[in-house]
Structure 1
Amino acid sequence: LFVCLYYSQRNLAEITELIHTAFLVHRGIVNLKEWTVSDGPLKDMEFGNKMAVLSGDFLLANACTGLAQLNDTKVVELISSAIGDLVQGIYYESSYNAEDGLGEGVDVTSWEDQTFLSHGALLAKSCQAAMQLAKHDREAQRLAYLYGKHLSLGHKLNSDLQPFVESRLGEMTPISLSAAPVVFHRQIVGKERWHQQLQEARTLRNQLDYTKLLAAVKSEKGVSSAVDLCRYHSNRALEAIQAFPSSEARSALENIASAVTKF
C-alpha cells in the first residue's frame, strides 16, 4: 500500500512539472505584431511559435493521460481546476499589461490574487492532491494547500526582489514594472508621482534607464514592504507544515519555506 502511494505521489509530482513546463513553453510564444525586419526572418519565428504551441499541447496531453492513470477523480478535478487558474492568471496578466503597459491596473491585493492564479494555484492544489492520494482527511489537505499557496507566493516575492536587493553594481538589467516592489512603490507614492519618476528615468531615445528607476523604487518603502510580505508568506507556510507530525520530510519542507526569505 505505501509503495503504491509513494509511486502515485511521485507520478503526481511529474504530472505537475509537465503542466508547469507546458505553460512555460506556451508563454514563450513571440508576439509577431512587434516583430521587425531587423529582428530576423519572420518565417522562422512563425515556425517557432507553431512548435511552441504543439510542444506545449503535447506536454499537456501527456499530463492528462498521467492524471487519468492515477484513478482518483478528486485529484483530476483539483489539477484540472489548477490548469484553469493558470489560464485565468495569464489572461489577467496580459490584460493589465495591455491596458497601459505600466501595470498601473494592479495594486498589492490584485497582484497577490493574480500571482496566485498564475504561479501558486498549481503547487497549492498539487500539495492538496498529494494528501488526497494518501487518503488524508480534509484538514490535512487544507494545510497542504495552504503550504503550497504561501510557499509559491513567497518564492515569487523572492524572485521579484532579487534585482532590488543584490549588491552587484554595473549595467542594470531591465526590471519588471509589475514586480512586487514596484507595485508597492507605485501604491505608496501615488499615480502622479509614479508618472513623474518614469519620465525622469526616460532617456533621449524614450527608453527607460533602469538604474534610475531602481534608485527611485529603493528610495521609498516598496522594497521593505515586499520583503515583509515575503516573510509573512514564509511564516504562514511554516505554520501550515508544522501542524504535521515531526519527520525528515517535514524538516525538508520547513527548510524550503525558510529559504524563500534568504536574498
Structure 2
Amino acid sequence: MWGALLRSGVRGTGGLRSMSSGGPPWSQVVSEAEKIVGYPTSFMSLRCLLSDELSNIAMQVRKLVGTKHPLLDTARGFVYDSRNNLQMRGLVILLISKAAGPSTAELSFQHNMVSGIYSSQRSLAEITELIHTAFLVHRGIVNVGELKSCDGPLKDMQFGNKMAVLSGDFLLANACTSLAQLQNTKVVELISSAIGDLVQGIYYENSKSSEENCLTDDIGISRWKEQVFLSHSALLAKSCQAAMELAKHSTEIQDMAFQYGKHMSMSHKLHSDLQPFVKESSSDTMAFSLNSAPAILHQEFLGREAWIKQIREAQGKGNIMDYKQLQEAIKAGKGVTSAIDLCRCHGNRALAALEHFPPSEARDALANIVCAVTRFP
C-alpha cells in the first residue's frame, strides 16, 4: 500500500495529495506537522537557550563575529535554517508519539496528555534536540594544526574552539539532566547508547582522513550505511523507540517506531548527499564529499583503481579539486540513480513501519515527511 505512495502521493484525512507533481515543499510539510503536535518545534529548546548560563556563552560567541570559525555558521543555522529545519528530530518524535497514542496500560493516565502526547514524550523530544544540537556545535571544532593563513588569526580559532567545547558540553549536560528526570531506566539506556553511537560515528568520520574530502578507504555502500546509522540515524531511531517505551507500548510497536526513525533518517541523509547532483537550477558547482552515497556507489560500479584515476585527473597539477569535472563523471555513471533508488528503498521501509500505527493525521504527516525526502526533480 505505502510503497506506491512515493510515486503517487499520500492519502491523508483530507484526501489524496499529489506528490508526483512536486507536492508541498519541505517547509510546508513541517509547518503542517507542527500544527498537529500542538506547537512549533523551532522553539523546542527555548527554555535551555534562554538560560543565564547559555546567554553568557552566547555573549562570548559574539566575539567571533568577523572571524571564519565554523561555530558562527552553526549558530546562524539555528536562527535562519528554516529550509532544512534543524528541529526535525523532535518533530518526528512528537508525531510518532501522537500516532501511537496511549497504550492499553496507560489509558487511565490520558489526563497527562496534551494534543495526544504525554509530557514525558515532549521532554524526550527536547532532550533529543539538545543532544543533536550539542553534537552539531562540537563538530564545529577545527583542527588548528591544519589551518592556513587564509583562515585568519590562530587566536580566533583557538577561542572559537573553546566556545564550541563549552557550549556543546553545556547543552549535552542539560540533556543528560533532563533524561535522568524522566525516571525510566530503559529510556536512559536507549538514549545513552545513542550518544555512544554518535561519538563512534563522528570519531570514524574524523579519523578516516587527515584532509577534507580525501578518500583513503575502499569503503562499500554496506559499510557506508553502518557508519551513517551511527552518526545520523541512531539518535532518532532510538528516541522514537524510547517515546513508545514512555507510553508503555508493546515491543512490536517500539520496534516499528525504531524502524521508522532509522529508515526515514537514512533517506534524509541520502537526499542530502544527492543535492549536488540533482539540483535543477544550480549554475554553480556545489562541493561534495567523496564519501557521499553517490560517490561511494559510483566507485562500486566503476572499480577502485578507475575511481582513484578520476580523482587524480580532477585534482590536476595544482592539487586543487575540480568538483565540476568530478561531478560530471559521477553523473555519467550509475552512482546517482542508484543512490536515488536506495533513498526510496529506505523511504518505503519507513512507510511500511507506519502500517502498524492506526490511521491519523499524525501518521499522514509522518508519511508526508518521508515523501518530501524521497522526491527529486
Sort the TM-score into its range (normalised by shorter chain).
over 0.9
CA separation in 2, counterparts of 1:36 and 1:150?
Answer: 39
1:226 maps onto 2:318 in alignment = no
Equivalent residues in 2 for 1:156-171, closer than 5 Å = 156-171=269-284
Tell me the residue number matched to 1:88.
Answer: 200
Deviation at 1:95, TM superposition (A): 2.7
> What is the root-mean-square deviation in Å for CA atoms of aligned residues?
1.5
Equivalent residues in 2 for 1:1-263, closer than 5 Å = 1-2=109-110, 3-4=112-113, 6-98=118-210, 101-263=214-376
Conserved in 1, the CA contact under 8 Å of 2:241 and 2:255? yes
Which structure 1 segments of 5+ residues have no match?
A: none
Which structure 2 segments of 5+ residues have no match?
A: 1-108
CA separation in 1, counterparts of 2:145 and 2:122?
Answer: 41
Deviation at 1:169, TM superposition (A): 4.1
Deviation at 1:103, TM superposition (A): 4.8
Conserved in 1, the CA contact under 8 Å of 2:218 and 2:304? no
Q: Report the number of matched residues.
A: 263
Q: Which runs of 4+ in 1 moved over 6 A?
A: none
CA separation in 2, counterparts of 1:202 and 1:52?
Answer: 32
Conserved in 2, the CA contact under 8 Å of 1:96 and 1:105? no
Moved more, 163-172 or 19-28: 163-172
1:155-178 deviation line (CA, Å, top 9, x unaligned): 000000011111224231211101
CA separation in 2, counterparts of 1:207 and 1:184?
Answer: 23
CA shift in 2, pair 1:208/1:255, >3 Å: same
Deviation at 1:35, TM superposition (A): 1.2
CA separation in 1, counterparts of 2:178 and 2:227?
Answer: 28
**Residue 298 of structure 2 aligns to a residue in which SS?**
helix
Q: Which has the higher contact order (CA 8 A, sep 6+)?
A: 2
**Residue 209 of structure 2 aligns to a residue in which SS?**
helix
CA separation in 1, counterparts of 2:368 and 2:216?
Answer: 33
**Residue 201 of structure 1 aligns to a residue in which SS?**
helix
Conserved in 2, the CA contact under 8 Å of 1:150 and 1:237? yes
TM-score (norm 2): 0.68
Greater helix percent: which structure? 1
TM-score (norm 1): 0.96
